[in-house]
Each structure stands twice: as structure tokens, then as C-alpha cells.
Structure 1
Amino acid sequence: MCCRRAVQGLSADVSAPLLGHDGKVRGDHDLVFYNHPVQDGVSVAGAAVTVELSRLPADVHRVVVVASADPLQPGAVFTRAPQLTICLSGPPAFSFTAPDFTSGLQGPGWGTAVCLWLCGIGNRLRR
């Protein structure tokens, strides 16, 4: 299974924390990102996260796909939702784009984000 994100006009990084049943990482090694691109069946390459469910340890309950605005780009925030494409072991691929962030929100700071949880992949699916 792979997830790819597409963000218009914003430099963004993708990461994939491996979470236990308590919703927490087991340790620093459970954050998969560009500087630590492979861990326990999860890999990150550019905008793609690949998860091999059969290789996830039993104590990993969920893999979360996260997009973060590049901290070296001052003032960088998500004002539009990234498009997310999920590929299972072959076609078809599924695409999802969330509604824009300003729908129904009011006030300073609403409608902007520097980090987004794009999807969660549950380990229980491989049973």
C-alpha cells in the first residue's frame, strides 16, 4: 500500500509515525521521514509513503501519514488541503482531496495549518 500527497504551491515534507495501541510512538525510531526513510515495513521516498502491512510489528497499531510545511519557507502554511492518493497492491488507486480549510471557520488563524494528518493505516487490516 502506498500513499502519495500533492500540494499546490507549498514545499511540504511527508512523514509516517508508527503508533502503538496507546496512540504513541514506541521510540524515536518510529518516526519515518527523509532523514530516517525506512523502519519496520514503512518507507518514505519524496512525496510517497509505502507501508508493507505484513512487515509491521504486532505492537504497531497504526501508521499515520503526515504532511508538514517546510520550516525553511517563512510563513509557509497549508491554506488548501493536499490531494492524497492511496494505492493498494494494484489498480485502482483512490484519490481524496479534503474540503478547503476555510469552510465554515471564522477568526484569526482559522483556515491555516503547518502540519496535517492525511490518513491512518491500521495494522489490524492484515489479519
Structure 2
Amino acid sequence: MEIVTQAPFRVATERWKNLPRMSEAEYPGTEGYIGDVYENPEGSVMCSGFFELRRTDEPLYYEYEYDEMKVVLEGEFLLENKETGQSVVAKAKDAIFFPKGSKIHFSTPSYALAFYAGHRDASLL
């Protein structure tokens, strides 16, 4: 009989709390917080975590070097790709897919929290 060993599944609790603030020098005029919960666990090609954005003076601009999915948990994000002209409001329970190469401007009227999973190495955050 062959014995199969498998890594146990994981559960992270309250990891959306006290996220590290994104660099004000790199993202001026914004108040964004982000943190990976899982960074390539068990050799996976994925990273996942939470992204929080509070009301901003300027949109937070991010260029994706990898594919990523987000699920809005609370609040709403205004998502704009100024190169393509696409503009969408994503609200709680909406699922978003950003293909590699997306150039997105994030803003919110007050607050938004999302969970993300990206096909990337932990060093890209």
C-alpha cells in the first residue's frame, strides 16, 4: 500500500487587521494598506492576502506584472484603466480579474477592502 503524504490545509484568522501601509513615496496622495497572508505556500505559484484603500486625494496607480484576482469584501473600488478607457465600480462581493500588464488606477469614495490571489512570487509585492 502506497502512503501519500500531503501538506495540511491552512486557515489564517484576522489577517486583514493591521495591514502594513503602502509607501507614501511610491503611492503619493493615497492611503493604501496591503499584506500577503500566504506567500507561495508549499511551493505554490500563488500569493494571496488583503488590500485596503481609504479615501484618496489621488488614485493609487498599480501596474500588474502578473495575473491577479480580487474579491471585494467591503466598500467599493473605482477601477480605471486610462489607456483603454475602461472604468468600473466594483462593490462588495464582486470578483475582479486583472490580467498581467493591466495598468489600474484605484480609488474609493470612503473605504474598500478586498482579498486577492495572484500568480506571482512573493518578492513582487
Same fold by TM-score greater than 0.5: no
Larger Cα-atom Rg: 2
Provide TM-score, normalisation by structure 1: 0.28
Provide TM-score, normalisation by structure 2: 0.29
Q: Which has the higher strand share?
A: 2
